Amino acid sequence: LAGREIKSANSVIECNGVQVGGEALALIAGPCSVESHDQLIATATSVKHAGANMLRGGAYKPRTSPYSFQGMEEEGLKLLKEAREATHLPIVTEVMNPSDVQLVARYADVLQVGARNVQNFSLLKELGKVDKPVLLKRGMMTTIKEFLMSAEYILSEGNKNVILCERGIRTFETATRNTLDISCVPVLKRETHLPIIIDPSHATGHWDLVEPMARAAVAAGADGLMIEVHPDPVNAFSDGPQSLKPSKFIRLVENIRPFAKLM
């Protein structure tokens, strides 16, 4: 169902008023984790002013260590809802557990599947039954074929609203957190009608590499960007080193404006 041969026209995914896969670039920004009311509202307001059209923020966090901050869970979802009311930005947030899908779907506009869950088939099947779009992240060891098969799990259960997201794959290189597979954009454009966005934050792991890779993503034909922004990256509960300060995010948007069609 994801294949170009099944549907030749690009799919445009409607996300509570924002289209992903249409003419304009989707610009999803926000903190890695929802940490507090003030942190989230400050970030949401600043990314909105910079030109973002959706807000991201994790309430359920897939952390490598069980001793790291695990997320605010439903309290975080409530804060995301408040941030949507304050900014009118649709909300993108991760769901990790199949049993949380209905709960997260009550708050979120777009449900995110994290890289680590790209082959959590029971989660994918559950998301196939939801009437909200799914942002499916590529795993760090997932081939493009496997990635598309994961999308197929969602589509085949009836949910046709899938957005693909490349966030870097694991290679021998250690200078960056992951290696951004920019070539997956034209490959996926050939293979599928589903939109593909790029997350240069998780792909690089370093805030100063985010903007050049965002520009590369736009040049390669990506349908959107997902970027981590934090008002105080040094004190972020997660992913501070790759988070942009609001002023740096404003600059990124200004620097892609000449060659991207923004909403």
Alpha helix stretches (DSSP H) within 140-183 = 144-155
Find the residue with minimal CB distance to Mn ion: 32
Q: Does 58 bind ligand PEP (CB under 6 A)?
A: yes
What lies within 8 Å, CB to CB, of 53 at 6+ separation is 18, 26, 27, 28, 89, 90, 263
Q: Does 163 bind ligand PEP (CB under 6 A)?
A: no
What does 115 bind: ligand PEP, Mn ion, none (CB cut-off 5 to 8 Å by kind)?
ligand PEP
Of 48, 132, 137, 230, the one binding ligand PEP by CB under 6 A: 137
Of 24-32, 40-48, 155-163, 210-218, the segment contacting Mn ion by CB under 5 A is 24-32
Task: Please check whether residue 26 is in contact with residue 18, taking contact to mean a CB–CB distance below 8 angstroms.
Answer: yes
Phi-psi region of 244 (alpha: psi -120 to 50; beta: other; left: phi over 0): beta
Q: Does 32 bind Mn ion (CB under 5 A)?
A: yes
Residues 121-140 that bind Mn ion (CB under 5 A): none
Q: Does 32 bind ligand PEP (CB under 6 A)?
A: yes
Binding mask of the shown chain, residues 71 to 110, with x at each position contacting ligand PEP by CB under 6 A: ----------------------------------------
What does 25 bind: Mn ion, ligand PEP, none (CB cut-off 5 to 8 Å by kind)?
none
Vertex 16, ends 15 and 18: CA angle to 5°? 60
Alpha helix stretches (DSSP H) within 4-161 = 37-50, 74-87, 101-107, 121-127, 144-155
Q: Does 35 bind Mn ion (CB under 5 A)?
A: no
Q: How far apart are CA 24 and CA 2, in angstroms?
A: 22
Q: How far is the CB of 199 from Mn ion (least distance, A)?
A: 9
Q: Does 167 bind ligand PEP (CB under 6 A)?
A: yes
Find the residue with minimal CB distance to ligand PEP: 114
Q: Which two tokens stand for residue 29?
A: 């920004």
What does 35 bind: Mn ion, ligand PEP, none (CB cut-off 5 to 8 Å by kind)?
none
Count of beta carbons in the 10 Å neighbourhood of residue 183: 11
Of 30, 51, 71, 114, the one binding ligand PEP by CB under 6 A: 114
What lies within 8 Å, CB to CB, of 86 at 6+ separation is 41, 44, 45
**What SS3 state is found at 233?**
helix
- Chain residues in the site for ligand PEP (CB under 6 A): 32, 58, 62, 114-116, 137, 167, 202
- Chain residues in the site for Mn ion (CB under 5 A): 32, 239
